Amino acid sequence: MAKPGCPDPLHRVPRRPHAWWGALLLSQALVAALWWRFGWVVGLPLMLASHAVFWWGVMKPASRLYSPVLARLPTREPVVWLTIDDGPSEQTPAILDLLDAHRVKATFFVVGERALAWPDALREIARRGHGIGNHSHTHPQAWFWALGPAAMRREIAEAQAAITGIAGIAPRWFRAVVGMANPFVSAPLREHGLARVAWSARGYDAVAAEPAAVVARIERDLRPGAIVLLHEGAKHGRNVEVLALLLRRLEVLGYSAVLPEAVQAPAEASVIPGTS
């Protein structure tokens, strides 16, 4: 855990949110020069390859191209960070009771509009000592990756305002919708002091309904410091069952669930550092 008054080495806010512009311009200038010198036979493949790098930065949740991102807690202790996306929802009270019964903490990555619809649930998350993260205001699942700078800033800022106004706590962590963060995410993250979080274990419980299959997929990727991606409010209605089974399996396997503030980061690189 970071000492009072010291920066948290796990919480990495983008420092240079527009640095990607320089890399883009330099890469395309190099492509143009090589195209002019050697023709399209060399230039076209290089152009496609250079564009693929920037697309990879969008499509890969743990990509560090556009901002620092925390994808795993830097520890060898048998602990995991449970993160629950897409709430609050009608399932939030049952989820909170489950977490209390197992004496563990989780971070809820909250959608701003859903916080406004379920304000008492959000307040209860905070009251019980769980973490609260920013997961956009409207959760535009199909096109979050393609948002322009104004829309991206609005999604993050409006969620931050709604969550802070209801819970009385400003989120410190942000998770991109579907994990896809485009070049315009870094500036609003810096503006609001947010650090981006990905994951290292998931069971696809937003769409998969069978708890045993979901937990088995998560278990395959469990390691000390794993960040586990979970959901609430899915249409299949079985997210509470998934969490109940997962918590039992974690106990059998000797894992406990903690918030990142409880983990002491080593002096060396403790996150996937970004270029932004």
Catalytic residue among 11, 135, 137, 231: 231
Q: Which two tokens stand for residue 196?
A: 């981006």
Q: Are residues 227 and 199 in contact, defined by beta-carbon separation less than 8 angstroms?
A: yes
Classify burial at 235, counting beta carbons within 10 Å of its beta carbon; exposed 0-12, middle 13-18, buried 19 or more: exposed
- φ and ψ of 83, to 5 deg: -120, 130
Q: What are the residue ranges of helices labelled H in the chain?
A: 19-38, 40-59, 92-101, 112-117, 119-127, 149-167, 186-192, 211-220, 239-253
CA atoms of 128 and 98, how far apart (whole Å): 12
231 flagged as catalytic: yes
Catalytic residue among 8, 51, 85, 102: 85
**Which amino acid type is present at position 166?**
I
- CA-to-CA separations, 108 to 5, 43, 67, 149, 201, in angstroms, rounded: 25, 46, 21, 25, 16
135 flagged as catalytic: no
Residue among 260, 210, 259 at smallest CA distance from 104: 259
Which residues form the catalytic set?
85, 231
